[in-house]
Amino acid sequence: MPIRRINSTGRKKLLREDTRIVLTQHGNGMSSFDAMLNLADYELPANANVFVEAYRQSTFMRFPYGTVQSPLASNDISRTLTEFPTRDGVLFRVKVVSAGEGGGLLLAEGDQIPPTSTEDREDRRIPLLPTAPADLGQEVWCVEIGASGPLLQVNRHLQDWKAVAGSPVFRSLTYPSAMREILRQILLVDEVFDADDESSWRGRWLRFACSLGAGEPPEQDTEESEKAEWIDAAAKRFAHQHQILNYYKAHLDSEEAQ
């Protein structure tokens, strides 16, 4: 079971809308980032230090980013992501840390922030199931569940994996199964049942399932068969809401007509 991080320290959660990371790709293939941070409404000490961290698996970079009063990077410090020649799977974290005597206390944090790029359309939704290319042998897709949440991996040897992952037909074939797998991991393996934990990917997934009309998540002492039924009901409701069968049949009909 994963270690639960209970927030009993008063540290504040930085909202996604207040921590926006934008990547710019340069001619040499490298990317640099800019962080648009709105920290004014969190009642944090003006002199507290701000740090932006980029990470992917064990690869990591950390950048000082001014103070709460002035959350800006110094011109002397490069914001080039030299450890990440590609942006695949890179996420960001923003930390606000106390300064001076008693320094080092974590006052506020926003984690698992996906960057946007200057070419991307504006989209600040939290991706419940981000996609990434992977070497999967002869498999087309699979769900990889890591510490930062689930990832829908698509075989990188498909000619254009991004186009495949984004196609509605692919989604119709993968998403209900992926959803079942993720909910089984949360409820039956990790044994997490708290849909109100906003800082956790598990909480976000449980809330998403609730929002489909599956009802409140089962509790810890619920029979395993009932937990499985709830998972199944959530996946079915997802398929129903998105009319997945009808969409797929329409796709087959259009292919036959061509």
Partner 1 sequence: MKLHRFNEDGIYRFEQFLDALANDPKFPIPTELLTHPSCAVVVLPGIDIEQREFPDRMAAAKYLNDILNDVRNDDVARDVGLWAWLSLFFFNQICPADSEGDRRVGAQRTTWIPQIDVSRRFYRHALLGPYLAYRAHRDAPERGRVLLSDPMHVTTSEAFRLFIETAFVNMAGPVALATEFYFNSERNKLRRGAGTKGKGGLRRYLNVLQQLDVTYDLHSLSVDGLRALLPEEFSRWAS
Stretch that binds partner 1, among 39-47, 139-147, 176-184, 225-233 (CB under 8 A): 139-147
Half-sphere exposure of 88 (CA within 13 A, CB side): 13
Q: What are phi and psi of 104, to 5 degrees?
A: 100, -5
* Residue window 211-250: x/- pattern of binding to partner 1, with contact defined by CB under 8 A: ----------------------------------------
Q: Which of residues 9-68 bind partner 1 (CB under 8 A)?
A: 9, 11, 28-29, 49, 51, 55, 57-60, 62
Rounded to 5°, angle at Cα 152 from 125 and 34? 45
Q: How far is the CB of 110 from partner 1 (least distance, A)?
A: 13
CA angle 33, 39, 43 (to 5 degrees): 160
As a whole number of angstroms, the distance between CA 240 and CA 53 comes to 40
Q: How far is the CB of 146 from partner 1 (least distance, A)?
A: 3
In the list 153, 172, 174, 200, the residue contacting partner 1 (rule: CB under 8 A) is 153
Among 23, 68, 113, 134, binds partner 1 (CB under 8 A): 134
d(CA 199, CA 13): 8
Instruction: State which amino acid sits at residue 89.
Output: G
Asked if 29 contacts 76 with a C-beta cutoff of 8 angstroms, the reply is: no
Report the site for partner 1 in 63-122 (rule: CB under 8 A): 83-86, 88-89, 95, 97, 103-106
CA distance 223 to 211: 22
Touching partner 1, residues 177-206 (CB under 8 A): none
Q: How far is Cα 228 from Cα 184, in angstroms, rounded to an integer? A: 7
With residue 8 as reference, give the H or E element that holds it: none
Smallest separation, CB 3 to partner 1 (Å): 5
Q: Minimum Å distance from CB 185 to partner 1?
A: 13
The tokens of 59 are what? Answer: 């690869």
Q: Which is nearer to partner 1, 78 or 241 (CB)?
A: 78
Whole-angstrom Cα distance, residue 149 to residue 231? Answer: 18
Nearer to partner 1, 59 or 118 (CB): 59
Cβ distance to partner 1 smaller for residue 94 or 214: 94
Alpha carbon dihedral 198, 203, 209, 212, in 10-degree steps, equals: -10
Instruction: Give the one residue of 1, 5, 196, 257 binding partner 1; rule: CB under 8 A.
Output: 5
Of 67 and 172, CB closest to partner 1? 67
Q: Measured in whole angstroms, how far is the alpha carbon of residue 49 from the centre of its chain?
A: 25
User: Residues in the site for partner 1, rule: CB under 8 A?
Assistant: 3, 5-9, 11, 28-29, 49, 51, 55, 57-60, 62, 83-86, 88-89, 95, 97, 103-106, 132-135, 144, 146-147, 151, 153
